[in-house]
Amino acid sequence: MASFSTASTLVTSFATRRGRITRRAASASSSSRTPEKDESVVRDRQSLSFKDSATGVDVTLVGTMHYNPVSIELASSTVTRLREADALHAVVLESCPSRWKKTQKTQPPGSFLRWFLYNEMLAAADAAGDPTKIRLGDQRIEDLGACAKRTMADTARDVLDPLGGGWGRLVRDWRDGFSREIDGRGDARGNLRAADLWCDVALLLGMPVSMFRYPMAWAIKSPKVIVPFAAFAWGMERIPSLVRPGALDAVTGAYVMSGEERLVSALFLALDVAEVVFISRLFLKALLETRNDVLSRSIRDACEESVRSGEGGGVVAVLGAAHLNGVQLRLMGDGDDE
């Protein structure tokens, strides 16, 4: 446990020093910042700062790799910087009331799980220093489940209806979903680039921590989801060992699969294709498009609150990195945010 904590501390410390050096260099010389065609967007590591097109309020989207120490530091430092400058109106979290309540119940302040599964959402909330500034901006988990079921059902119908336009709808959704939710406004207009993630050495060093903490958190907080999934994966892995094996051909010496092995091979091929088709559409439609609509609306609501209050404070949104470009597209007026 000590070594785990030490590793997380070292990674976070490295990221903090790197962020400070980067900001000092940027303030010392404008040439140190990557030139952008759209100067209204400021990139800083995995964050994007710009003005909401409808209200003019300053918005900072912090893209995170969930449970990564570097992302935790970035979320905390971003919120802290604005709070100390008295320029923070609200912090929007990629969470909903049900999920946040469960997090508070399983990870109360001072508990082992609070430390062990500390994440960027908790860090941002702690940095805000005022619970009234926290906005839970994500789609309700109950609605997300229903949306995912509808998407899977729609996908099944489209797969089985190639002549009725089903396959065309799948291709169109993939193409439009990637363009809108992944590419967003495009690299030249200030979105989050793949290089902003994969060229951050500290973030990559923290990836093993993220890959350990994330499924562990799911197992603890949502065993009804993770246990059936783990049982299914284990069962699929066991299938090949249960079938009758083939044999070597007496004449050619080549291996000849048994009928059962051929059946299992065909089953796994079908599952591979189905995984690509179903999971990709689920990801683009239910997990990104629908939730990005909700997240951007929540951020816009916080911006409108700031205008009505007359305080003029900005809004920070802490999101998974995959959401940044789609949410930015909506808030900057390039996409429908309703």
Q: What is the pLDDT of residue 149?
A: 92
Q: What is the pLDDT of residue 130?
A: 92
Residue 124 clears pLDDT 90, i.e. is over it: yes
The DSSP code sequence of 106-162 is HS-TTSHHHHHT--HHHHHHHHH--GGGEEE-SPPHHHHHHHHHHHHHHHHHHHT-T
Cα separation of 245 and 240, whole Å?
A: 9
What is the mean predicted confidence (pLDDT) over 111-118? 94
Q: What is the pLDDT of residue 226?
A: 75
Q: Which residue would you say has higher pLDDT here, 77 or 262?
A: 77
What is the Cα gyration radius of the chain? 23
Residue 254 lies in a domain: yes
| Average pLDDT in the chain | 85
Give the residue from 2, 7, 11 showing the smallest Cα distance to 204: 11
Q: Which residue would you say has higher pLDDT here, 36 or 306?
A: 306
What is the mean predicted confidence (pLDDT) over 258-263? 84
What is the mean predicted confidence (pLDDT) over 152-158? 93
Q: What is the pLDDT of residue 334?
A: 65
- Give, as one character, the DSSP assignment of residue 180: I
> pLDDT for 311-324, tens place per residue?
889 999 999 999 99
Residue 215 lies in a domain: yes
> How far lies 292's CA from each of 13, 117, 261, 328, 334, in Å?
32, 25, 44, 9, 14
In this prediction, residue 247 has a pLDDT band, given cuts at 50, 70 and 90, of confident
Residue 230 lies in a domain: yes
Q: What is the pLDDT of residue 299?
A: 97
Q: What is the pLDDT of residue 29?
A: 35
Count how many domains the chain has: 1
Cα separation of 29 and 229, whole Å?
A: 51
Verdict on whether the full-model pTM lies above 0.85: no
Q: Which residue would you say has higher pLDDT here, 225 or 290?
A: 290
In this prediction, residue 24 has a pLDDT band, given cuts at 50, 70 and 90, of very low
Residue 291 clears pLDDT 50, i.e. is over it: yes
> pLDDT for 218-234, tens place per residue?
888 877 777 777 787 88
Percentage of the chain lying above the pLDDT 90 cut:
59
What is the mean predicted confidence (pLDDT) over 149-167? 92
> pLDDT for 30-68, tens place per residue?
333 444 456 788 989 999 999 999 999 999 999 999 999
The residue range of the domain holding 84 is 42-332
Q: What is the pLDDT of residue 235?
A: 82
Residue 75 lies in a domain: yes
> pLDDT for 83-102, tens place per residue?
999 999 999 999 999 999 99
Q: What is the pLDDT of residue 6?
A: 43
Residue 328 lies in a domain: yes
Residue 99 lies in a domain: yes
Scored b (16 or more CB within 10 A) or e, 181-201 reads bbebbebebbbbeeebbeebe
Range from 129-143, 178-192, 231-245 that averages highest in pLDDT: 129-143
Residue 236 lies in a domain: yes
Residue 10 lies in a domain: no
